[in-house]
Structure 1
Amino acid sequence: MTLAELPKIELHLHIEGAAPPEFVRRLAAEKHVDLSGIFRPDGAYAFHGFKHFLEVYEAATSVLRTPEDYARLTRAVLERSAEAGVIYTEAFLSPDFCGGGEVAAWRDYVAAIAEAAAQADAARGVAMRGVVTCIRHFGPERAKAAALCAAETAGEFVTGFGMGGDERMGRQSDFAWAFDCAREAGLGLTTHAGEWAGPESVAEALELGVARIGHGVRAVEDPALVDRLAERGVVLEVCPGSNLALGLYPAPEAHPIDRLRAAGVPVTVSTDDPPFFHTDMVREYALLNRAFGWEEDVFAELNRTAARAAFCDEALRARLLERIG
């Protein structure tokens, strides 16, 4: 079986960050919005450094204004995921972008996204669940509103809660209320840490009681912390192509995912914001194959880890594990 044919599970995908550039350009043209400044001459997204990436990301998101826009986006994203062999994906969805953090508006967005996801599953065999995310650099008060949106729509489709955005802003503990609210609603918990902030941010994330950590790769700088992650079985949602594209590591061989895995830390592989970083799940697997010699058995192991860590019901989990083999 080729890398393209392997069934894949992705746990770390930002729905807006997965928007193909041509999709955003088409939507901008329909709405008469000039976004020419966020694209390179070849049509790809143009950014330099993480701060500018966030600015371009939010500019691209600005043309997504209605539930139907997000339904169209969901269909476009899942079409590309299916082409890369993805059978299950968890997409980060932010009420701040979908209805301005208001529960009533958020419900309409969630319904549209969930319906589009169900259609993609029926047509292409790629299931999707939503992980509601607050935006760290928007502050703790808006995070509370996002958590309430998540709690009010928790169920078959909305199954998790997390935090994205600039992890250099504030501390994880500033958002404890939001995570407690989501926990009480029965949602799985994850948060971004250990990407731009060091291992101390991963240690802070553990205090929130999360089951998974987005990125988390800077934990490798603290051997005692690596041991804690391994002992607790905290799963890292690792995005190698994203880390390399943003300059976190100079070359694939320098990426710590192989060392973390060897130390017993449960790791998974995802694309983060694939068109921004010129990647997809097939490219991620090829990168890891070249850098570390990982073959089909290792990728199957990673996908079983991802299936067990997925924020989904047990019936779906069993189906995913069966497809992985």
Structure 2
Amino acid sequence: MSVTTLPKVELHLHIEGAAPPSFIRGLAAEKKIDISGIFNERGEYKYTDFWHFLEIYEAATSTLQSPEDFRRLTRAVLAESAASGVVYTEAFLSPDFCGGRDVGAWREYLAAMIEAADEAERQDGITMRGIVTCIRHFGPEKAKETAICAAETAGDWLTGFGIGGDERAGELSDFSWAFDCAREAGLRLTAHAGEWTGPESVREAVDVLHCERIGHGVRAIEDLALVDRLAEDGIVLEVCPGSNVVLGVYPDWRSHPIEKLRARGVKVTVSTDDPPFFHTSMEREFQMLHDTFDWDEGVFDEITRTSLDAAFCDGETRSRIEKRLERRP
């Protein structure tokens, strides 16, 4: 089966983490910033483990210094996603990297990214919406500032709020104020959990932060009572299998629990996380799932419909994407 022509919906993509290495090298050369140490001899991002990955990620992001940089970045990322068959994507955006959590500066960065997204929709047929994400290892006080940025710009385009970064930094309950602020502004909620910490972190994201989606969440499989609860409550997992395998959460694709979770009734979706860091794309994720678990077109259609149903966009946008799915080749 060819997965190339299948339309895809992606819900878990970090905009900075999706930056092609060539794009970051180009920006660094323009600005005369020496970040050569973050690449290997093939010009790819290099890191040794998840925590080193975070350091390399932030070093690469240091080249992104203006709204124009983020406009160009967004356009480049969406072009690559569209080439992989993605018709709708939700990207995590960090005011930490866009004006230092200053609301006025954040508005300028956001406007630049929306401009690029509008151009991509016209030219490449891909629709994007934004989810503001605070960074866990930056601490809860900075997360409050990030939440204020999100609340001040919530609307039809900026539709969600989440948290990423090092899951082992602090407790999710430390970020309750930020999530309450975002919820009161009408933003829908997701949180990274159950990747580097166990099922208890997934339970905390649901019970304490009241998230309707979980970024990763795969280690819920270690607690079958929790798995059944996720299925019963309709909590959606933003699963990134390629990321989990490359970072060593699971040793190989066959060991990944996505099929076990799906078979037990959990709503799973498929995303790339930080695609160039993990040498992946949505097309490759689909191909590996087909090769590993023998997923056929019917399963992929189910995954795509689940993803669209779980998207944080408004009804009009969802209907528009639905029509694109119906017009598939």
TM-score (norm 1): 0.99
Aligned to 1:31: 31
2-side partners of 1:171 and 1:225: how far apart?
19
AA at the equivalent of 1:294: W
Question: Are 2:89 and 1:89 aligned?
Answer: yes
Aligned to 1:319: 320
State the Cα distance separating 1:156 from its structure 2 match. Answer: 1.7
2-side partners of 1:119 and 1:157: how far apart?
14
Structure 1 unaligned segments of length 5 or more: list them. none
AA at the equivalent of 2:35: L
Question: Are 2:273 and 1:267 aligned?
Answer: no
Aligned to 2:228: 227
After the TM superposition, which parts of structure 1 deviate over 3 Å for at least 4 consecutive aligned residues? none
2-side partners of 1:25 and 1:308: how far apart?
37
1-side partners of 2:177 and 2:21: how far apart?
36
Calculate the aligned-residue CA RMSD, in Å. 0.7
2-side partners of 1:52 and 1:290: how far apart?
30
State the Cα distance separating 1:149 from its structure 2 match. Answer: 0.2
- Contact 1:300–1:324 (CA<8 Å) still a contact in 2? no
1-side partners of 2:114 and 2:20: how far apart?
20
Aligned to 2:284: 283
SS at match of 2:231: helix
Question: Are 2:29 and 1:40 aligned?
Answer: no
State the Cα distance separating 1:79 from its structure 2 match. Answer: 0.4
State the Cα distance separating 1:251 from its structure 2 match. Answer: 1.1
2-side partners of 1:316 and 1:181: how far apart?
25
1-side partners of 2:234 and 2:50: how far apart?
29
User: How many percent of aligned residue pairs carry the same amino acid?
Assistant: 66
Aligned to 1:252: 253
AA at the equivalent of 1:291: T
1-side partners of 2:275 and 2:167: how far apart?
20
2-side partners of 1:151 and 1:287: how far apart?
38
State the Cα distance separating 1:324 from its structure 2 match. Answer: 2.3
State the Cα distance separating 1:2 from its structure 2 match. Answer: 2.7
Aligned to 1:132: 132
1:265-284 alpha-carbon deviations (Å, 9 max, x no partner): 00000000000000000000
Aligned to 1:169: 169
State the Cα distance separating 1:320 from its structure 2 match. Answer: 1.7
2-side partners of 1:34 and 1:57: how far apart?
15
1-side partners of 2:67 and 2:82: how far apart?
22
SS at match of 2:166: coil
SS at match of 2:238: strand
SS at match of 1:41: coil
AA at the equivalent of 2:89: T
1-side partners of 2:324 and 2:293: how far apart?
25
Matched residues, number: 325
In the TM superposition, 1:197-212 aligns within 5 A as 197-207=197-207, 208-212=209-213
AA at the equivalent of 2:297: E
- Contact 1:9–1:303 (CA<8 Å) still a contact in 2? yes
